[in-house]
Amino acid sequence: MLRSTTPASAYAARRARIAALLDGGALVLYGGELRTRSNDTEFRFRPDSDFHYLTGLREPGAVLVLRAHAEPRFVLFVRPRDAEAEVWSGRRVGPEGARDRFGADAAYPLGELAERLPKLLDGARSVHMPLGRWRTLDQAVLRAIDGLRRRNRWGETPPELVRDARVTLGEDRMVKDEHALASLRAAIEISGHGHRAAMAALRPGVGEHQIEALLEYEFRRRGADGPAYGTIVGGGDNACILHYVDNDDVLRDGELMLVDAGAEVDLFAGDITRTSPIGGRFSAAQRDLYDIVLAANRTGIARAEVGSDIDTIHRACLRVLCEGLAGLGLLPEGVDAALEQELYKRYYPHRTSHWLGADVHDAGHYTLQRTPRPLQPGFVLTIEPGLYIPATDDRAPAGLRGVGIRIEDDVLVRDGGPEVLTASVPKDPAAIEALVGQSPLP
Ligand SMILES: [Mn+2]
């Protein structure tokens, strides 16, 4: 069985929280549809995160209408049962199952959406929806509002306000409830198994694709939905390509392997990066660079406190990285000039943190009134400083050219100080060296 940590009551509690924020309005979400992979075959379905967050339903072609203004409150539209279609493309929950198994107060076949939506929106003060996300949903809602407006003489009262539901949902998703946290912890625990297995199987001559397969085997066999995003396994200077997902090179002695991979459980994502020496030992030059990134990682984590913000974390990490780079002779302009003129971008082009949750780059604003928002208890973010020395960098000593290192942890902001959710995955260089090559590649 796939791992699930989320009871039906958790989805009901989320719907109640969101309904209280709708101010007498209605929320309309679409779970999404199958996407073509090639010709007539499709990717495995993965529902929209907001939709799943409130329903737990994983079927394509489903619409949620959550009504704060009247009964029934929780309405689902789903594909109707169809014995023949289900033989080909899998079981469907159907309207009856939507009521019995997913707790809908009312449920109808998807084909009745256009006909029923006006009545469901009648009397709602506002409609909350992901504007512009799904053309079909936009059209259905706008038609319903327009239809109600035309019938205003007969007493129908259309919503006067359309709001972007992603703002409301994003704010709620930012503060992880106990079930979201349980899902995240499970996703991270499984991700950790994958990372440790990858380190243990690492040795020269193994293919990046084999490490990728091992990670995803660990994820799936332990009941995760699968990888939460495209697994990155980069040996040597492939580590300097930030979104390297080809994973088709061989891992060479004397080089490092960067793995950025996370499992998904109940549609919550782990997101972990570790960098390991392929031959089992960091060279002195690699170790120098590793220690700088590790110091930045630890500095960033220490700053992930209530009231801090991700700009403060980023700047604290940047200073550590720049001081380290200057110490290696890679920033002859000096630390202050490097920070001011962003000269470090040559070696560190990305930001340090993103929100983590149901989406690996999770929902929720990063700024409020254009200033970075203060961290609150329950926020989960990544701390992922890195340094990537281009293979062509003639400033760098030969032993550092083409070396890429990133160390990424997932951190829960708490009143008592940050909790590192990814603490079970080694990042101390001695601990990594002790693990690398310890078991045969299966
Ligand atoms: Mn990340």
The model's pLDDT over 394-422, given as tens digits with 9 standing for 90+, comes to 999 999 999 999 999 999 999 999 999 99
- Who contacts 229 (Cβ-Cβ below 8 Å, separation ≥6)? 262, 269, 271, 360
The model's pLDDT over 88-134, given as tens digits with 9 standing for 90+, comes to 989 999 999 999 999 999 999 999 999 999 999 999 999 999 999 99
The CATH number that applies at residue 338 is 3.90.230.10
- Who contacts 342 (Cβ-Cβ below 8 Å, separation ≥6)? none
Task: Please state the domain count of the chain.
Answer: 2
3-state secondary structure of 36: strand
The first and second tokens of residue 427, run together, are 């990042």
Do 295 and 302 touch, CB atoms closer than 8 A? no
Give mean pLDDT, residues 25-31.
Answer: 98
| Residues surrounding ion ligand 1 at CB below 5 Å | 271, 382
The CATH number that applies at residue 34 is 3.40.350.10
pLDDT of 153 above 90: no
The model's pLDDT over 337-394, given as tens digits with 9 standing for 90+, comes to 999 999 999 999 999 999 999 999 999 999 998 999 999 999 999 999 999 999 999 9
Q: What is the pLDDT of residue 16?
A: 97
Using pLDDT thresholds of 50, 70 and 90, give the confidence band for residue 155: confident
Same domain, 139 and 245: no
Same domain, 254 and 135: no
Do 201 and 441 touch, CB atoms closer than 8 A? yes
* Nearest in space to 327 (alpha carbons), one of 352, 291, 355, 362: 291
Q: What is the pLDDT of residue 161?
A: 95
User: From the CA of 385, how far away is ligand 1's center (Å)?
Assistant: 10
Evaluate whether residue 442 is within a structural domain.
no
User: From the CA of 382, how far away is ligand 1's center (Å)?
Assistant: 6
Kindly tell me the sign of the dihedral angle through the C-alpha atoms of 94, 97, 102, 108. positive
Same domain, 235 and 349: yes
Question: What is the pTM (predicted TM-score) of this model?
Answer: 0.96
Same domain, 149 and 280: no
Same domain, 165 and 190: no
* Active site positions, annotated: 40, 243, 260, 271, 350, 354, 361, 384, 388, 406, 408
User: From the CA of 407, how far away is ligand 1's center (Å)?
Assistant: 10
Evaluate whether residue 28 is within a structural domain.
yes
The residue among 140, 173, 206 that closes a domain is: 173
The model's pLDDT over 39-64, given as tens digits with 9 standing for 90+, comes to 999 999 999 999 999 999 999 999 99
User: From the CA of 104, how far away is ligand 1's center (Å)?
Assistant: 35
Tokens 């994502």 belong to residue: 269
Give mean pLDDT, residues 310-317.
Answer: 98
Kindly list the distances between the CA atom of residue 119 and the CA atoms of 15, 26, 116, 162, in Å, as whole numbers in the listed order.
21, 12, 6, 17
Compute how many other C-beta atoms are within 10 angstroms of the C-beta atom of residue 154: 7
The count of C-alpha atoms lying within 13 angstroms of the C-alpha of 253, restricted to the half-sphere facing its C-beta, is: 2
Evaluate whether residue 344 is within a structural domain.
yes
Evaluate whether residue 243 is within a structural domain.
yes
User: From the CA of 219, how far away is ligand 1's center (Å)?
Assistant: 17
Q: What is the pLDDT of residue 302?
A: 98
Question: What is the domain range of residue 26?
Answer: 8-173
Same domain, 380 and 276: yes
The model's pLDDT over 247-258, given as tens digits with 9 standing for 90+, comes to 999 999 999 999
Euclidean distance between CA atoms 26 and 353, whole angstroms: 33
The model's pLDDT over 160-183, given as tens digits with 9 standing for 90+, comes to 999 999 999 999 999 999 999 999
User: From the CA of 67, how far away is ligand 1's center (Å)?
Assistant: 35
